Amino acid sequence: MDLIELDGVEKVFDVRRRTGFMRREKRQVRAVDGISFTIPRGEMVGYIGPNGAGKSTTIKMLTGILTPSGGRLRVAGIDPARERTRLASRIGVVFGQRTTLWWDLPLKDSYRLMHRMYRIPDARFAANMERCVELLDLAELLDVPVRQLSLGQRMRGDIAAALLHDPEVLYLDEPTIGLDVVSKSKVRQFLRDLNAELGTTVLLTTHDLTDIEQLCKRVMVIDHGRLMYDGALAGLHEVGESERMLVVDLEQELPPVETDLARVVKVEGPRQWLAFPASVSAAPLVAQLAASYPLLDLSVREPDIEAVIAKMYAGGADGAQGARLV
Ligand SMILES: Nc1ncnc2c1ncn2[C@@H]1O[C@H](COP(=O)(O)OP(=O)(O)OP(=O)(O)O)[C@@H](O)[C@H]1O
Ligand SMILES: [Mg+2]
């Protein structure tokens, strides 16, 4: 069964802009412009796109904070905007830019309040606390007021807060923003375990593509409120028409090698760089070169996913029709 279902979901904001003394201009922003997708239980999906694409707006509609202007949306069979309170016990949400914790209270007091607010059974609460404290390294932080926590510590505290009531779905809106390398990898490991062991469905928004590479098999790309891509991360390479690079070390310095399967993009002494389409195998190219040239060594470099995505974002505005795959 699909846990999350969106069918033609839209969100239009009315914005008023002052254009002069007593003059205002009314304008509509289509933040989400007809999005449809489903997420089955247990999946971990990346939701990416440039600034202002509509990611946070989508997540806010999925929690019931915002009401869609059109379309149909269900989470665990519930219409979030109509039954926000009932949905609250089934979902957890972390906004990396904001905290849901009580600023002046020690971390553990925030958790106590949530224990009561969500009416979490005592045994459940104790077990979840133990798990989060251990896996998110919170033991030393429980007595510290939230305002004194570093960003990474606070984020780990927020993730625990979102999970104390055993939600089936966890929405994460930029959970690794501003974290150092060690904290990022701790958070990622925790999310991987959560998904693998408890089967929690995760929808993750991030600008750090390493998050996606390490956590999500499926990725959705949104731009100008529209879904541009929904599929395997690897498939993005083909969309971006990107290339892989074969680096060959010849026995001696030679002019650029001749082949119809690749383009020589760089020559440096006996080393040459050959670009070929990311979607095809390197084997025929290697065989062709080996038959005609004295090879010492070779390696294949994967395309930089950052470059692929950047290209896709850049083409988004006008090339939308062409690039759109869903
Ligand atoms: N409450 C609001 N009122 C008016 N416009 C809004 C409101 N919230 C968002 N928008 C607009 O909707 C669009 C989408 O915003 P959203 O926050 O969903 O983007 P995002 O994909 O999360 O971007 P980012 O990567 O910067 O977080 C933007 O143009 C934004 O200005
Ligand atoms: Mg956002």
pLDDT higher than threshold 50 for residue 318: no
The pair of three-digit structure tokens given for residue 282, joined into one six-digit string: 């390197």
What average pLDDT does the structure give for the chain?
Answer: 90
The amino acid that residue 171 corresponds to is Y
pLDDT tier at 279 (50, 70, 90 boundaries)? confident
pLDDT higher than threshold 70 for residue 193: yes
pTM of the model: 0.81
pLDDT at 278: 79
Is 52 near ligand 1, meaning CB less than 6 Å away? yes
pLDDT higher than threshold 90 for residue 25: no
- Per cent of the chain over pLDDT 90 is 72
pLDDT tier at 322 (50, 70, 90 boundaries)? very low
Contacts of 133 (CB under 8 A, 6+ apart): 139, 142, 160
Q: Strand 271-277 and strand 295-301: pairing?
A: unpaired
- Which of 14, 29, 30, 309 for a ligand 1 pocket mutation test, highest count of atoms within 8 Å of Cβ? 29
- Per cent of the chain over pLDDT 70 is 93
Is 60 near ligand 1, meaning CB less than 6 Å away? no
- Give the C-alpha separation, 44 to 25, whole Å: 42
Ligand 1 centroid distance, CA of 22 (Å) = 26
- Share in percent of the chain as helix, strand, coil (round to 5): 35, 35, 30
Q: Which atom in ligand 1 lies closest to the alpha carbon of residue 49?
A: 21
More confident residue, 208 or 309: 208
Ligand 1 centroid distance, CA of 71 (Å) = 19
pLDDT tier at 239 (50, 70, 90 boundaries)? low
Contacts of 96 (CB under 8 A, 6+ apart): 155, 172, 173, 174, 175, 176, 177, 178
The pair of three-digit structure tokens given for residue 212, joined into one six-digit string: 């996606």
Is 103 near ligand 1, meaning CB less than 6 Å away? no
- Which of 14, 27, 56 for a ligand 1 pocket mutation test, highest count of atoms within 8 Å of Cβ? 56
**Burial level of 257, CB count in 10 A (0-12/13-18/19+)?**
middle
The predicted-structure confidence for 86-97, as pLDDT tens digits, reads as follows 999 999 999 988
pLDDT at 241: 64
